[in-house]
Amino acid sequence: MVVTSNDGSVQRLTSSAEQPQPLRAVVAATKSWVERLNPIWVEGQLIEIKRRAGSVTQFLTMRDTLAEVSVTLSTSLAVLDAAGPLTEGTVVAAWVRPTVWSKSGSLTFECRELRPSGEGRLLAALEQRKRMLQAEGLFEPALKKRLPFLPRRVGLVTGAQSAAERDVVENIGRRWPAAVLDVRHTLVQGQQSVEQLIDAIRSLDAAPEVDVIIVARGGGSLEDLLPFSDEALVRAVFACRTPVVSAIGHETDTPILDLVADLRASTPTDAAKRVVPDAAAEAAAVANAVGRVRQAIVNRVALEERRLGELRSRPVLRDPAASLVGHADRLHNYHERLGRAIGARLREEQLGLQHTVQRVRALSPRATLQRGYAILTDADGAGVERVAATTRGATLTARLADGRLTLTVNDLEPQEQEQE
């Protein structure tokens, strides 16, 4: 085995069954010879990407695109991140230098630069564009517009006589026949497709009678769907005031238009189902709701009838007058007692009044006069109670029980008062 040292000298390793070379010497000699090879660009498909958190060195497994040949690549985290988002299955071009791991003796390739190749390059460019638009806020969920529940006019941007147009038109017509379609035919691939798509979308957005816009296309390769990831088209859709539905390709196809649209439909048929309701299903739902409401009313009426029957079956409601009998008896007793009390009080008050009248009559001046007494008054009407209160010749009036007498005083005879 010939080995070249670092100074360029050539050494030969000799060995025999009796004098074998140590393994470390053989691995070191192999490593020295392999690392003399120059770096080279190779193309292959990444079948395994092992990202190790916290480690600078990352490991990849690359396989030939045609033959069953695979190698292990070691690279730095900076090189891996600089290549953009890589997924398993991506075809890449790698600038590698072969080397041998001393501990295991395995051959590996040290990757110093990594670039996506073919579709991988397109995917990396699309991913970079997607990140830029996302950073500007074009994909924010809060900016998505809600689709109308029942659009009157639906705008459709699609290829002429395409399967996508047929699927959308047939499904909308079958689900909601009253919906009106405004179809704009454009190219859906090629260099002029982006300009035509933008013009059609802007024209429909400017029409006030259009309630929603569907952009539909059938499936295709990555290159065929590139117009629907164009930055100008994405910005035109973002600027629309009318809700836009993206229905591009199949479920696995995800152009950038899907991210900026207000709603992403997996297929054109799915877009038609999401834009308009199913008339038959809505009619069945309404009929079902009416039936539930009617049954709820019937159940409520039956419940209230049962409650009313239970209330009427109670003794107090079955014979309401029965509860008033006791009250009527008590009221009658109170009435009789009140009558007796009032009668007794009236008799008592009447007797007292009679006694009072008798006393008043006994003290009345008329009664005094009837007993033979008289009341003397002078000409001024003042009472004369004493002899000294008048003079000889004065005219007095004597009031008797049955009339008056006019008297003239001829003589005054005072009477001495008896001392007690």
**Residue 283: CA count within 13 A, CB half-sphere:** 5
413 or 248, greater pLDDT: 248
Residue 236 has a pLDDT of 95
Helix, strand, coil fractions of the chain, as percent rounded to 5: 45, 20, 35
User: Mean pLDDT, to the nearest integer, of 206-234?
Assistant: 89
Highest mean pLDDT among 114-128, 223-237, 356-370: 223-237
The three-point CA angle 161-260-168 to 5° equals: 25
Residue 239 has a pLDDT of 94
Residue with tokens 């008329």: 366
User: Mean pLDDT, to the nearest integer, of 273-288?
Assistant: 92
- Tens of pLDDT along 150-162? 999 999 999 999 9
32 or 203, greater pLDDT: 203
120: confidence class by pLDDT, cuts 50, 70, 90: low
The three-point CA angle 181-183-188 to 5° equals: 140
Query: Is the predicted pLDDT of residue 250 greater than 60, yes or no?
Result: yes
Residue 10 has a pLDDT of 52
Domains of the chain: 2-118 (2.40.50.140), 127-277 (3.40.50.261), 368-408 (no CATH)
353: confidence class by pLDDT, cuts 50, 70, 90: very high
Query: Is the predicted pLDDT of residue 3 greater than 60, yes or no?
Result: no
pTM: 0.52
Interaxial angle between packed helices 193-206 and 231-238, expressed in degrees from 0 to 180 and rounded to the nearest 10: 10
d(CA 45, CA 62): 5
User: Mean pLDDT, to the nearest integer, of 269-273?
Assistant: 93
11: confidence class by pLDDT, cuts 50, 70, 90: low
Residue 303 has a pLDDT of 94
Query: Is the predicted pLDDT of residue 410 greater than 70, yes or no?
Result: yes
Q: Rounded to whole angstroms, what are the CA distances from 114 to 52, 65, 94, 123?
A: 18, 16, 5, 14
378 or 297, greater pLDDT: 297
8: confidence class by pLDDT, cuts 50, 70, 90: low
- Tens of pLDDT along 163-182? 999 999 999 999 999 999 99
Residue 312 has a pLDDT of 81
350: confidence class by pLDDT, cuts 50, 70, 90: very high
Residue 5 has a pLDDT of 54
Query: Is the predicted pLDDT of residue 207 greater than 80, yes or no?
Result: yes
d(CA 166, CA 278): 18
How much of the chain exceeds pLDDT 90, in percent?
42
Backbone Cα Rg of the chain: 63
User: Mean pLDDT, to the nearest integer, of 326-347?
Assistant: 91
Residue 88 has a pLDDT of 81
- Tens of pLDDT along 22-57? 888 878 887 887 778 888 999 888 888 888 888 888
User: Mean pLDDT, to the nearest integer, of 226-232?
Assistant: 91
User: Mean pLDDT, to the nearest integer, of 272-281?
Assistant: 92
Residue 242 has a pLDDT of 95
Query: Is the predicted pLDDT of residue 105 greater than 90, yes or no?
Result: no
d(CA 311, CA 318): 9
Average pLDDT, the chain: 86
d(CA 47, CA 61): 6
